[in-house]
Chains A and B, each alone.
Chain A
């Protein structure tokens, strides 16, 4: 092991290693800047939403009151309208204004527990309008035992509903997930998050979805493809192969070195960013609820993707709750069967396993290329080519996009765990594992027959 750690130390002391860390750090800073810019836009929209909700609620109540007064003054009811309907509408509008005012205050006071409570109550009002029409799904049924706990935190008036009052609501699932999300946030006492979140945990999640996949494969390939060539250049390949250790051992050691060095190249800048962001905004947030394929944490269920097959992965059909995205299944309700909220740390743990497996996969590709191509510069060009081809395979051959064959898409741990790829989490892990074994065996086959002439 001494030899291994010393070799790792040697790799970590190279300029290339430092350069990759700096590149990734630069990339991270760019992403933070971008997220902050986008976050300002999201905040503006959120403010507009809160303001307009209050204003609609105020005008809605005025209108409802005047219509009710007109009815009490003896004016004839329009066709299809009833006294009960007008009374219900008045009660509904009063309740809605109460929530809107409380939400408005909580938002501007940045009182996030209150904000989450009123956002949950606002969403729960829609259950009576939208959810009930689609399915006999009540909060009691959906939340199960948790509902008793939630009821103590919020005010829920099941009688208050007025059908057809808001027909332009987004997906039914979104209403349900949104309610669930805000109720969970109350219990963990956290502010709401969005896909541009720059809190340390939120940024890690968002960077995993939006930033890291673009660059990860390339960094690992370029990092590992040079390992063998560096040994050839310095002559250490000869010194090492002169020992009684066989060539498979040498390649295994190089693969492990490349893998660990790549992990360090990624972890070090991420950790620096995490700490800096945490010092600025606190380290809380690992309990944030995010959507994930049901049962994955316990590895008890291999999720099924009926919903994805039906929607055909149309990005325009994505619903967004907090930092999570899900492919809407429209009226099928299948998302409610296949998705669940889990704490962010559980999601990130599983995502880390997939990303680590992907890093190992890229490491093995890098080693394989370096056994085949003896010239270092040419090997790096080939590595860039492999990365470009692998990453764009889904675009070149749309039939395999995000399926099991789309190997470089396996780096998208977040959408895979959310069930937004036509491949499962366990399936992705398995295919990567098989490819790692095959590529490593091929590298050994080539290397064992190779003359070390350098």
Chain B
């Protein structure tokens, strides 16, 4: 079941066009990672979905309700933790929970569940201002879970958490998805994202990176070939680039390393190198992990 559908979202701040035709959807139980550098448009997209920012054009449907025409129904299916934890720091953790619980008309039994989920125990009686960043994040996540939403937006939920906190939160997110929540989340901790996201959406300069480009990047990362450096390298590289779609290369002391644009070129490249009398030092298969993919997409590496 589709819990979120975003279609051709556009938003500008003054002359700066920050979102360009963003379109995607989210199914029940799916965890989608939002990836992109600072300023790429991740938070703006999330805020548009949360109705905090109004897009110039585009449609957002939450659990079948159009956000523009049926705001209240749509928002009743959503909960979010966007950027800062959004707490009343002069109040205790428990008072914060009670405050937001009363805004969402939450039952006492569910409130007790959320209290357990935060794991803050006796610390809930202390003012929120005295909490560590990790405790604030747990409390904020608890608040986000108060309304039993259909889907959750989590913007940088790992920020400030210690390794144990990251682990617990990762498990919590997985469990929530298993319970049927649709989850969109963003983080700069790419490895954590990779561990839990069903799929990732890459945003670059306000635009979603096309699936084709992502696939190409994945393919390009298949193998890395190492050969000894010789005098005729430049001519060889020109030939390989022209005929066999060599993507890029690095010179490391006496070694020349290059990667391919597609795995299908591996055999022809090896043949060409051997025909040129080159001694091949190694062929290393590359795993298309999220970090290498990230640098491939955003740094052109």
Chain A residues packing against B (C-beta within 8 Å)? 1-3, 6-7, 9-11, 13-14, 234-246, 449, 451-453
With A2-B98, A452-B53, A453-B47 as known contacts, state yes or no: A245 contacts B103, CB within 8 Å.
yes
CA distance A235 to B83 in the complex (A): 8
Q: Which of A1, A11, A242 contacts B79 (CB 8 A)?
A: A242
A6, B98: Cβ atoms closer than 8 Å: yes
Instruction: Answer yes or no: B82 CB below 8 A from chain A CBs.
Output: yes
Name which of B24-32, B68-76, B190-198, B287-295 contacts chain A.
B68-76
**Chain A residues within 8 Å of B87, by CB:** 234-236, 239
* Per-residue A-contact encoding for B82-124, CB less than 8 Å = 1, 0 else: 1111111111000100111111100000000000000000000
A9:B52 contact, CB within 8 angstroms:
no
A6-B103 in contact (CB<8A) = no
B103 and A241 form a contact (CB under 8 A): no
Given contacts A235-B83, A242-B79, A452-B47, contact A6 B104 (CB under 8 A): no
Contact (A236, B88) CB under 8 Å given A2-B99, A244-B76? yes
| Complex CA distance for A239 and B54, rounded to whole angstroms | 17
Q: Chain B residues near A6 (CB, 8 Å)? A: 88, 91, 95, 98-99, 102
Residues of chain B at the chain A interface (Cβ within 8 Å): 13, 47, 50-54, 71-73, 75-76, 78-80, 82-91, 95, 98-104, 140, 143, 147
Judging by beta carbons under 8 Å apart, are A3 and B99 in contact? yes
- Known contacts A246-B72, A453-B47: A3-B103 contact under CB 8 Å: yes
Q: Within 8 Å CB of B102, what residues of A?
A: 1-3, 6
| 19 additional A-B residue pairs with CB within 8 Å, beyond A235-B84, A238-B80 | A2-B101, A2-B102, A6-B91, A6-B99, A6-B102, A10-B88, A10-B91, A234-B84, A235-B82, A235-B87, A236-B86, A236-B87, A242-B79, A242-B80, A243-B103, A244-B71, A245-B103, A451-B13, A452-B53
What separation, in Å, do the CA atoms of A13 and B143 have in the docked complex? 21
How far apart sit A453 and B12, CA to CA, in the bound complex (Å)? 12
Give every chain A residue within 8 A of B99 (Cβ-Cβ): 2-3, 6-7
Complex Cα gap A234–B129 (Å): 11
Q: Are B84 and A243 in contact (CB under 8 A)?
A: no
Neighbour of B88 across the interface among A7, A243, A244, A453, CB < 8 A: A7
A246 neighbours in B (Cβ, 8 Å) = 71-72
Cβ-closest chain B residue relative to A233? B84
Centre residue among A1, A236, A242 by max chain B CB count within 10 A = A242
A-B contact list, 18 entries, CB within 8 Å: A2-B98, A3-B103, A6-B102, A13-B90, A234-B84, A235-B82, A239-B140, A240-B103, A242-B50, A242-B51, A243-B100, A244-B71, A244-B72, A244-B75, A451-B53, A451-B54, A452-B53, A453-B53
Nearest Cβ on chain A to B238's Cβ, whole angstroms: 49
Give Cα A11 to B50, complex, Å.
26
Given A243-B103, A449-B54, A452-B52, are A235 and B95 neighbors across the interface (CB < 8 Å)?
no
- Which residues of the other chain, A, contact B78 by a CB distance below 8 angstroms? 242
